[in-house]
Amino acid sequence: MKWQNHMIIGAAFGAVINPLIIPVAVLGSTAPDWLEYVLKICGYRVKHRTVTHVLLYWLAAIAFFALVIDYRHIGLGFAIGGFSHVIADSFTIAGVPFSPTSDARFHLFGGKLRTGNAGEYVVAGIIALMCAGWVHLSPASFKNAPTLETSGFIPFFYDWKKEYDSGIVDGAEWRENRLKFI
Ligand SMILES: [Zn+2]
């Protein structure tokens, strides 16, 4: 799958958890691919869509950062981005490995996509819409979202949040525009 679609899906996944993690989720959304280059530079022989694309690894990373230790959701955001990448790749014909010990490939929806096909954009669009819908229907999950004061880290969409807080834009407008950077 193309990186731009991975980034859209990563941002959408991140938005469901917490808007503040979107930047790291976008970084993580391409990680399974660029980690292959990093490993190669380090002298490891990596085949495409193997070790860095194991679904269980990314699930374990999410569990680790969510339950054990994390710093300002950076680990969690990155892991969610990586997880979104592997999920997105599972739509393709080649699929992804489910666990490091099995050769079976994991596919979603029959694994019909070919990388570079228009279908990719459709899948990315549908996932983004579903995530936006989720965010729209569950605004309560954002009530506890960290603010600038508590997070100390400024994402590019922060202004919308600030304007929302100060009443310049209403909730619907904020929710709508928050995802506009996509
Ligand atoms: Zn990939």
- Best CA proximity match to 25, nearest among 76, 87, 86, 88: 76
**pLDDT of 61:** 96
Question: 69 CA distance to ligand 1 centroid (A)?
Answer: 26
**pLDDT of 171:** 57
Question: 1 CA distance to ligand 1 centroid (A)?
Answer: 6
pLDDT tens per residue across span 93-109 = 888 998 888 777 888 87
Collapsed DSSP state (helix, strand, coil) of residue 137: helix
**pLDDT of 175:** 61
Q: What is the mean pLDDT of each run of 10 residues along the chain (182 residues)?
A: 92 89 94 95 91 95 93 92 95 88 80 79 89 76 51 46 54 59 46
Lookup: tokens for 29: 């959304």
Domain positions in the chain: 3-141
Is residue 155 within 8 Å of 19, Cβ to Cβ?
Answer: yes
Q: What is the DSSP letter of 52?
A: G
Question: 151 CA distance to ligand 1 centroid (A)?
Answer: 30
Mean pLDDT, the chain, as a whole number? 81
d(CA 57, CA 115): 23
pLDDT tens per residue across span 44-53 = 988 889 999 9
**pLDDT of 158:** 45
Phi-psi region of 123 (alpha: psi -120 to 50; beta: other; left: phi over 0): alpha
**pLDDT of 151:** 47
Question: 153 CA distance to ligand 1 centroid (A)?
Answer: 28
**pLDDT of 86:** 95
Question: 40 CA distance to ligand 1 centroid (A)?
Answer: 15
Q: What is the DSSP letter of 89?
A: H
Question: 33 CA distance to ligand 1 centroid (A)?
Answer: 5
Torsion of CA 62, 65, 67, 70, to 10 degrees: -160
Query: How long a stretch of residues is the chain?
Result: 182
Question: 154 CA distance to ligand 1 centroid (A)?
Answer: 28
Question: 87 CA distance to ligand 1 centroid (A)?
Answer: 9
Question: 89 CA distance to ligand 1 centroid (A)?
Answer: 6
**pLDDT of 104:** 78
Residue 157 dihedral angles phi and psi, to the nearest 5°: -95, 10
Rg of the chain (C-alpha set): 17
Is residue 54 within 8 Å of 31, Cβ to Cβ?
Answer: no
**pLDDT of 182:** 44
